[in-house]
Amino acid sequence: MADHGQLTLPFDEPFSVSDQPDLWTPRDIWVRFSQGMTGRFVEDRRIEFKSTKKINVDDFATYLSCFSNTPDGGVICFGVEDDGTLSGCRNLDATILNGIETCHLQRCPAARPEFKRVPISLGDRQDFLILVYTPYIGKLAETNKSEAWIRYGDTKHKMSEEEKRDFRATRNEVSFELEKAPYSYPSDFQESTIQDFCDKYREREKSKWSNEEILVDRHLLERTQTGYAPLNALVLLAAKDPARTIPGCRVRVQRFEGDREGSGETYQPIRDRFCEGSIVQVIQKAAAAIEEALHSVTWLNNDGKFVTTPEYPKWAWFEALVNACVHRSYSFSGTDTTVKIFSNRMEIESPGGFVPTVNEKTIYVMRASRNHHLMDAMRYLGYVQMAREGTRRIKESMAEYNLPEPVFRQEVLHGVVVRVILQNDHKVRSRSTDRDVAVFFGVDQWKLMQDHEIKIAAYAYRNETIQVSEAQRLTGRTWATSKKDLERLCRKGILVFVSGDYSRDPKAHYRLAKQEV
């Protein structure tokens, strides 16, 4: 009798039905890899194939750095071509084999690789692969050339000095927010923001501490022999002019006419506003700029009723804005947090990558913070929830508006950024401006009409008549197709054809059937 607890695959060893190689970690791959599995894998974030035709130890060192810096690490497989064809390592000279296993000692000393050989058969000869598992070590691993690399998808990325600094900060090697800042306390700071924060702290914690005691306890100030030294976290929270030392402390809000930014002469945002000041001020100003830039739309909800709302739910974009400001990397000094509003989406871009162990797949269940002390202070002020609660609120708010789930994506642009995309349901929104048309025909009839039919009916409703050439221009369809569209609407009883005095009379047109008594 067959064992239904096992899955029959061309592997050397059986494993349970629930065991999916696509979900294996790099460590799982290294432990369980065999010749039969080669075709199961392609190069991705977890594994890199290396031909033995030409082995460059300096290039190998970049991969040791790369996987040491990538959460979960990675596997390098020598003896496999890029397309997955097995070539083996038997023909390698012993000096090269030894060089592979000792490369890290001189060229990437922070790496902790593990090596093993996997036997394979190539026709009638026996050969082997060399598998190198390089674990993630939680601190920056550089090569002997002072270069640091990290893995994104199936490619390696060389980190800039700002990215390396941010990496160290998020792994607690250094902390940007705990660095002393060249400001004087309290004269360089907003008294009202500090007082508000301290009052909220005392209220919640039932504390009688002074303002300074609270700021020291919350790692915003540091005591010195002569007084107090403000830290970067306090500069971000409440400085009168944080941009003096942290130019990235601002948000740019832009609105574009279509679904693209354009470039050169075509780059012409309708609105373009920079919001500066402390984090509290930046969020307040940016929120006002976003609300001003959004349109109101009317759409049909699940109950068959028309509702008028902004294009996007406030809780969704506001949470995304706050997260972008609080969790961004301020080590990327010359890069702004940006909000770009297009006709079909809103994008909130935050400099700096995801903080491990958060990524696109774990965004709703894991929590981690880059600027822990700043985030903690903002929570007392009522701006920040726990990270995973904030992202869940974004998702739930979009669902309430019948809009797609938000997209969270890490990208390599001018450095690494996290982009949150809130999408506008174009089909719903394209109909939203025609509420009066829907009321005129009745919701039941309106719901059955196709998009191009709605455009034609709306034009006829507002202009009393429509001709074939006008329908063609509206819908972008051909003249013959537009003629058929109009005739179909006549058969549905929506339009009536009004002929001219003679065949092909340019005065011939169509008008709404309900206009005739």
Element (H, E) at 354: none
Look at 19-28, 159-168, 294-303, 305-314 and tell me which has the smallest mean pLDDT: 294-303
Each residue's pLDDT tens digit, 389-405: 788 889 999 988 888 99
Give the type of residue at 110.
A
Each residue's pLDDT tens digit, 412-447: 755 678 999 999 864 444 444 456 666 677 767 776
Look at residues 295, 281, 351, 346 and name the one whose alpha carbon lies nearest to residue 323. 351
Each residue's pLDDT tens digit, 464-476: 889 998 898 888 8
Percentage of the chain beyond pLDDT 90 is: 45
Q: Does this model's pTM top 0.85?
A: no
pLDDT score, position 183: 97
Per-residue pLDDT, averaged over 321-327, amounts to: 92
> Of 134-138, 320-324, 334-338, 467-471, which one has max mean pLDDT?
320-324
Contacts of 57 (CB under 8 A, 6+ apart): 99, 100, 103, 107
pLDDT band at 193 (very low <50, low <70, confident <90, very high): very high
Contact 407, 420 (CB under 8 A): yes
- Residues paired with residue 292 on neighbouring β-strands, in sequence order: none
Each residue's pLDDT tens digit, 212-234: 999 999 999 999 999 999 999 99
Ramachandran angles phi, psi of 407, nearest 5°:
-110, 130
pLDDT score, position 127: 93
pLDDT score, position 414: 57
d(CA 397, CA 128): 54
Q: Is the pLDDT of residue 73 over 80?
A: yes
